[in-house]
């Protein structure tokens, strides 16, 4: 019984297939039959079904790079009614299609991706600026700065070398290294130098009126620098901004050099060709700094990369800003005074991007070598920046060289 049922269904399907084929042939014959009573006339007066229309291939224009240079890609249109309007039969259409398929396709042109810094306007992406380099030739100093792997250079500097109230021996220099953004380093570079000079000048006026001794003048200058550092930090914290900044500064007054620092910016002096570090880096790995932090209720930990950090966060133990860590990361600087003598040649102030890869003596030797070769003063700073970069430094690097001979 099952066998008869299957045979019956197969016969029904075969009959339906023959019916469909017959209908298809009948429709093709009707559609392709030319009209019988069409007079020979011009194309303009012919019925629409008999006109020979010229197909215009659509053009797709793709602009690559410059808008004035366009590559036009032609897409041939397929005449679906060619068998019916006298332009060829089905066989001819199939043959032409096979020939077109055998042709080599057009070369694919891939647009060139713009380089960083040349992204077209309107793109919703952030592209880092091109690597920025800064070189400065100032009065008695020179500087070179280069951005590291970050999107913006978070280093800054300040120099006050003009005569202040006819006192040509008063000058201020500073190099700053920000972290967590540029908010702190921008304010510090703008305000710290002015605050130090103003505080020192105010102290000098009081001492002249009271005819104080020279030793009291030194103590007062140190106190003025410390007060300027603390007031600058309070200015930043009062604005409720995030981030922080390290600093290394030098003040020249009455034949004395006052060097102050916060964090890991460093000041190194060349005395008769020998490098002398005038500052000590404030890092979480320093023993006395660790004791100070732990005695204040904080802690210092060493990560898997060997870097010590305060509260598992910051590698420096003193800095401007860093409000959330201010209980342990203080802004009180260490200040040292040095008497300038004939052997004092120059001072190198730089951010840790240099000192992590270049030793104190190497820096002094590079500056001395550049001076002996008669290079421009900014060239020695740039040489130090290049030296640190060639050794793998990817941090922002700022180097300032101050000529101390002019003060001796």
Which residues are CB-contacts of 304 (< 8 A; sequence separation ≥ 6)? none
Residues 284-309 have pLDDT tens digits of: 999 999 999 999 999 999 988 899 99
Q: Is residue 30 part of a domain?
A: no
Q: Is residue 304 part of a domain?
A: no
**CATH code assigned at 338:** 3.60.40.10
Which DSSP category does 34 fall into? P
Q: Is residue 227 part of a domain?
A: yes
CA 348-344-334 angle, 5° bins:
55
**What pLDDT, on a 0 to 100 scale, did the predictor assign at position 8?**
75
Q: Among 30-39, 259-268, 394-403, which is the least confidently predicted range?
A: 30-39
Alpha carbon 159 to chain centroid, angstroms: 25
DSSP symbols for 148-208:
-SSSS--EEEEEE-S-BTTBTT-EEEEEEEEESSSHHHHHHHHHHHHHHHHHHHHHHHHHH
Q: What is the C-alpha separation between 364 and 360, in angstroms, rounded?
A: 6
Q: Is residue 382 part of a domain?
A: yes
**What pLDDT, on a 0 to 100 scale, did the predictor assign at position 330?**
98
Which DSSP category does 258 fall into? E
Q: What is the C-alpha separation between 237 and 246, in angstroms, rounded?
A: 15
Q: Is residue 63 part of a domain?
A: no
User: Residue 400 in contact with residue 143, Cβ under 8 Å?
Assistant: yes
Residues 65-113 have pLDDT tens digits of: 444 434 443 344 444 444 444 444 444 554 554 454 444 444 433 333 3
Residues 333-390 have pLDDT tens digits of: 999 999 999 999 999 999 999 999 999 999 999 999 987 755 557 899 999 999 999 9
Phi–psi pair at 243, nearest 5 degrees: 95, 180
**What pLDDT, on a 0 to 100 scale, did the predictor assign at position 129?**
37
Q: Among 55-64, 165-174, 341-350, which is the least confidently predicted range?
A: 55-64
DSSP symbols for 321-375:
E-GGGTTTSB-PPEEEEEE--TTEEEEEEE-HHHHTTS-HHHHHHHHHHHHHTT-
Q: Is residue 53 part of a domain?
A: no
Q: What is the pTM of this model?
A: 0.67
In 75-147 the beta strands, taken as DSSP E runs, fall at 133-137, 141-146
Burial class (CB in 10 A: 0-12, 13-18, 19+), 303: exposed
Domain total in the chain: 1
Q: Is residue 378 part of a domain?
A: yes
Whole domain around residue 338: which residue ranges?
133-282+318-407
Q: Is residue 165 part of a domain?
A: yes
Please check the confidence at residue 394 and state whether its pLDDT lies above 50: yes
10 torsion bin: left (phi>0), alpha (psi -120 to 50), beta (else): alpha
Please check the confidence at residue 146 and state whether its pLDDT lies above 70: yes
Phi–psi pair at 63, nearest 5 degrees: -85, 125
């Amino acid at each position: 019984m099952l066998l008869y049922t299957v045979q019956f269904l197969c016969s029904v399907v075969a009959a339906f297939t023959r019916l469909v084929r017959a209908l298809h042939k009948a429709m093709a014959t009707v559609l392709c039959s030319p009209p019988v009573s069409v007079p020979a006339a011009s194309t303009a007066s012919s019925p629409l079904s008999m006109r020979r229309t010229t197909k215009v291939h659509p053009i797709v224009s793709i602009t690559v790079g410059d808008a004035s240079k366009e590559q036009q890609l032609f897409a041939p249109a397929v005449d679906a009614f060619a068998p019916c309007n006298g332009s060829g039969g089905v066989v001819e259409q199939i043959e032409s299609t096979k020939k077109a398929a055998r042709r080599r396709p057009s070369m694919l042109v891939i647009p060139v991706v713009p380089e960083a810094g040349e992204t077209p306007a309107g793109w919703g992406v952030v592209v880092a600026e091109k690597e920025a380099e800064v070189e400065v030739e100032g009065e008695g100093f020179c500087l070179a700065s280069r951005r590291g792997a970050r999107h913006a250079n978070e280093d800054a500097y300040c120099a006050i070398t003009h005569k202040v109230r006819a006192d040509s021996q008063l000058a201020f220099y500073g190099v700053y290294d920000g972290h967590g953004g540029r908010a702190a380093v921008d304010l510090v570079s703008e305000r710290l130098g002015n605050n130090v000079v103003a505080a020192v000048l105010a102290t000098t006026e009081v001492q002249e009126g009271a005819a104080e001794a020279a030793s009291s003048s030194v103590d007062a200058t140190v106190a003025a620098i410390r007060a300027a550092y603390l007031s600058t930090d309070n200015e930043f914290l009062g604005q409720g901004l995030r981030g922080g900044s390290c600093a290394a500064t030098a003040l020249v007054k009455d034949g004395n050099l006052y060097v102050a620092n916060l964090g890991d910016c460093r000041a190194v002096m060349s005395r008769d060709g020998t490098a002398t570090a005038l500052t000590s880096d404030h890092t979480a790995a320093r023993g006395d700094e660790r004791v100070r932090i732990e005695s204040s209720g904080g802690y210092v930990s060493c990560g898997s990369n060997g870097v010590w950090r305060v509260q598992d966060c910051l590698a420096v133990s003193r800095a401007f800003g860093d409000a959330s860590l201010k209980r342990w990361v203080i802004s009180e600087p260490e200040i040292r005074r040095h008497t300038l003598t004939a052997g004092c040649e120059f001072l190198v102030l730089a951010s840790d991007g240099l000192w992590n890869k270049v030793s104190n003596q190497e820096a002094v030797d590079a500056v001395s070598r550049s001076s002996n070769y008669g290079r421009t003063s900014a060239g020695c700073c740039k040489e130090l920046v290049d030296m640190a970069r060639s050794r793998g430094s990817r941090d922002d690097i700022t180097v300032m060289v101050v000529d101390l001979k002019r003060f001796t």
